Structure 1
Amino acid sequence: MKTKKLTLFFLLIIGALILSACTGQPLTNNYPGLATDGERAYISTGSFIYAIDVETGNQVWSYPEDPETELLYYANPVLTEDGQLLIGSVGTNHAFISLDPATGQEKWPEPFSSAKGAWVASPLVFNETIYAPNTDGFLYILDLNGNQMSPPIELGGALWSAPVTDGTYIYINSLDHHLHILNPTTGESADPIDLGGAAPGSPAIGNDGIYVGSFASDVKFITPNGNNEVIASASDWVWGTPAFDSETLYFADLSGNIFSLDLTNNRQNWDSLQPDGPVTASLLVVGDQIYVATEAGSLIALDRDGKIVWEKTPGGKIYTTPVLANDLILVAPYQAEFALAAYDADGKQAWTFTLDN
């Protein structure tokens, strides 16, 4: 049953990408990537990347000017401190590009195109270095001008999740059931840690270690030296990144269960909570509310006791993790009438954006 769920989900993603490649047109019905810098929101969908004004919901720019069917964008764009927007293509052209977030113009003389696979994962930018994971199983290391700084590191297994750092080490999950811990100073990698299942989400940085959810239907706590233990079990696969918030860890599973784990005693803070449909997106914690996006197309705000504060139905299905832009929650549904919607903390819809704006 679980294998069938994974296969169907992968087909969902791949099918949408192939359809966009055949038509060459932007689609509202493919799984988008989403990021924001507070001034603009950026969504990657089909052959295009769009910038949207966060205050008004109006389009600022789109890239490229004309559709290029060999280029398809799926990952969450990444913004750098020196004013770049980074993203790679999952199309037949495996270009990794840098854009100006204000204008959408290309910033590098040419894309980085040495990878053999697709750029499903977002890169990590750390110490003025880009660490870009690829589905070919390699982690590519670039400078901020897009030049390769050293040979790529072969990790094995398709890399679908963004690396994270605690300021000393870099952590990256693989679909081959392993977590890799890298020393960016030496380029050395410790022995991989067996997670017991594929891990398509990123680790969450905590105090003195990281938290990793996987298709082993549990969450592990792992220290920088590789010590690890299961601290919580779920009812189903854990797809998204756990949300670490001081002494509490929030996570969800593919059966739609929402968990709140007290990290002081590793006990659940509430009884069974299953408000609506499977959850693949990571949970978003803002102030005293936890935002949950579901496959059934709902955006749910919970309080810290697990009570529903409000629930909205943007429509379609939601696989992309919501993001915070100033005082607005942005959500990017799949197969909906619009590509992006903004809600305030009380659940009032501020605006929607459609791709024909």
Structure 2
Amino acid sequence: MKKLSILILLLLNFFFINSALSKKNNPKIINAFSNPVFDGKGYQPIGSLKWKFKTEGKIFASPIAKNDIVYIGSEDGFLYAIEEKSGKTKWKFKTEGAIHSSTSIFENTIYFGSFDGNYYAVNTEDGKLIWKFKTGGEHWLGEIGMWGMKPETQYMDDLWDFYLSSPVVYENGKTAVVLFGSSDGNVYSVDAKTGDLKWKFKTNGPVHGTPVIDRDKIYIGGWDATLYALNIETGKEIWSFATGTKTGFKGIQSSVAVSDGKVYFGAREPFFFALNAETGKLIWKYDAQSSWILSSAVIQDNTVYVGTSDTYALLALDAKTGAEKYRFKANGYVYTSPAIAGNTIYFGDFTGNFFSLDLHSNGKKSNVVSTENRKQFAASTLKNDLLDFGYTGQNEDLSLYDNNKKVMDQFYQLGSIVSSPFINNNTIYFGSADGYLYAYYLEK
């Protein structure tokens, strides 16, 4: 990977796996997307456009739908509640910063974070504030002279740190808590009704990953390149697993998937890992060919599906061994976390393409829709319809940070998709850097 030119996200995303529940207390876990595996019938390609909803900023967050309303945050600082049938605004809630956090819904409350430094609880019916929790501050990852880019005295935001941590709700009996990470380096547990702090756990770097809960544990990683397993009730560390810290290859942006006693996740260290869920010991790791893995995985039929950055692939890996079964080549970085319905997996790429792939075809049967911006700018931005950082920035000195940022802005014009999809009522929803939330019918 060319770290001064081809650098990528993740993520993200972030899809989050619902997992086995404690038999003792029968807790309820409300992850940000409930589960990336949805009900479906056979192979369902993407159909016609139902509607698209325009915001005034890029969309990096992922949508969620409940009770005929779709919710999405935008870089314009608003959380939107949109009617599923019409695509019209029901209400919108203003924060003082970009919303790169996805949401969770518990009862009549929706939870999310903003770059203004607050995590919010808002009434789903009328968009009124219930409470807000002030963190130590939310910000993009950054440093002076990042990765040797020039000028060496300039402070530089990491151009591929797209997301804030998305909240997860954990209900146990009569109590419920909201869990999320923060740029201040803490993982927080706060009362879901009041926003009062229950506990916090300090890491050694910003935490923009999203927590996943399984039984009595919370799993979360961050920019200190470490995955933590914490006790859900106390926040005490159970185990930790350190990934690599080489310059340009440090950090965990994805969320984990938990299945059959294993924890699966990718990192900027170019590997995808499978750990023992109880001990944190490595079971296997997949070499991603110097490509960050920032997509969060989804697992079905003993197969792990996850996106890659510089190799532009959706991978299908054997869940037991990590052996590659096949790969599907997209046109650019695959930062979105895929969603499965029936025999179909759905995901987007950084060039503004959104794919549906038949899981029974070994990567051979698919269809694609594109953002309007991609249709307009692909010829002038892409090389042979593929993302190529060096090609797009060929007239620029890519040792300069500002020129890297300029290339990224050109990519964004395509309507880059880093928002992960959500499926409801035979419709699939995803956001784009062109500022639109798209709603497409699924073919029956």
Q: Mark yes or no: TM-score above 0.5.
A: yes
Q: Which residue of 2 aligns with 1:352?
A: none
How far residue 33 of structure 1 moved from its aligned partner, in angstroms, is: 3.9
Task: Decide whether the 8 Å contact of 1:218 with 1:230 is kept in 2.
Answer: no
Task: Decide whether the 8 Å contact of 1:26 with 1:47 is kept in 2.
Answer: no
Matched, 1:214 2:267: yes
Task: Decide whether the 8 Å contact of 1:203 with 1:210 is kept in 2.
Answer: yes
Task: Decide whether the 8 Å contact of 1:300 with 1:308 is kept in 2.
Answer: no
How far residue 265 of structure 1 moved from its aligned partner, in angstroms, is: 4.4
Q: Which residue of 1 aligns with 2:438?
A: 341
How far residue 199 of structure 1 moved from its aligned partner, in angstroms, is: 1.2
For 1:1-357, what aligned pairs fall within 5 Å after superposition?
A: 1-4=1-4, 27-37=56-66, 39-45=68-74, 46-64=76-94, 70-80=96-106, 82-91=107-116, 94-108=117-131, 111-118=132-139, 120-127=164-171, 128-196=176-244, 197-223=250-276, 224-235=278-289, 236-255=291-310, 256-270=312-326, 272-304=327-359, 305-315=362-372, 316-335=415-434, 339-346=436-443
**Counterpart amino acid of 1:160?**
H
Task: Decide whether the 8 Å contact of 1:137 with 1:156 is kept in 2.
Answer: yes
Task: Flag the 1:181–1:297 CA change in 2: closer, same or farther, 3 A.
Answer: same
How far residue 227 of structure 1 moved from its aligned partner, in angstroms, is: 1.2
**Counterpart amino acid of 1:233?**
D
How far residue 42 of structure 1 moved from its aligned partner, in angstroms, is: 0.8
How far residue 87 of structure 1 moved from its aligned partner, in angstroms, is: 1.2
How far residue 28 of structure 1 moved from its aligned partner, in angstroms, is: 3.7
Please report the TM-score for the alignment, with normalisation by the length of structure 1. 0.83
Identical columns (%): 21
How far residue 104 of structure 1 moved from its aligned partner, in angstroms, is: 0.9
**Cα displacement string for residues 50-95 of structure 1 (whole angstroms, at most 9, x for unaligned residues):** 111122222211113xxx6x33311101111x2210112203xx12
Task: Decide whether the 8 Å contact of 1:41 with 1:52 is kept in 2.
Answer: yes
Unaligned runs of 5+ in 1: 11-24, 348-357
How far residue 6 of structure 1 moved from its aligned partner, in angstroms, is: 7.3
**Cα displacement string for residues 279-330 of structure 1 (whole angstroms, at most 9, x for unaligned residues):** 1111111110111200010111111121232110024111111111231111
How far residue 39 of structure 1 moved from its aligned partner, in angstroms, is: 1.8
User: Which whole-Å CA distance do the structure 2 matches of 1:84 and 1:154 have between them?
Assistant: 27
Task: Decide whether the 8 Å contact of 1:32 with 1:334 is kept in 2.
Answer: no
The alignment covers a number of residue pairs equal to 321
Q: Secondary structure in 2 aligned to 1:312? A: strand
Task: Decide whether the 8 Å contact of 1:310 with 1:346 is kept in 2.
Answer: no
How far residue 101 of structure 1 moved from its aligned partner, in angstroms, is: 1.3
**Cα displacement string for residues 254-273 of structure 1 (whole angstroms, at most 9, x for unaligned residues):** 12112111224433222x43
Task: Decide whether the 8 Å contact of 2:62 with 2:421 is kept in 1.
Answer: no
How far residue 346 of structure 1 moved from its aligned partner, in angstroms, is: 2.7
Unaligned runs of 5+ in 2: 11-53, 140-162, 245-249, 373-414
User: Which whole-Å CA distance do the structure 1 matches of 2:364 and 2:427 have between them?
Assistant: 21
User: Which whole-Å CA distance do the structure 2 matches of 1:2 and 1:326 have between them?
Assistant: 42
How far residue 341 of structure 1 moved from its aligned partner, in angstroms, is: 1.3
Task: Decide whether the 8 Å contact of 1:38 with 1:326 is kept in 2.
Answer: no
Please report the TM-score for the alignment, with normalisation by the length of structure 2. 0.67
**Counterpart amino acid of 1:96?**
Y
User: Which whole-Å CA distance do the structure 2 matches of 1:294 and 1:263 have between them?
Assistant: 24
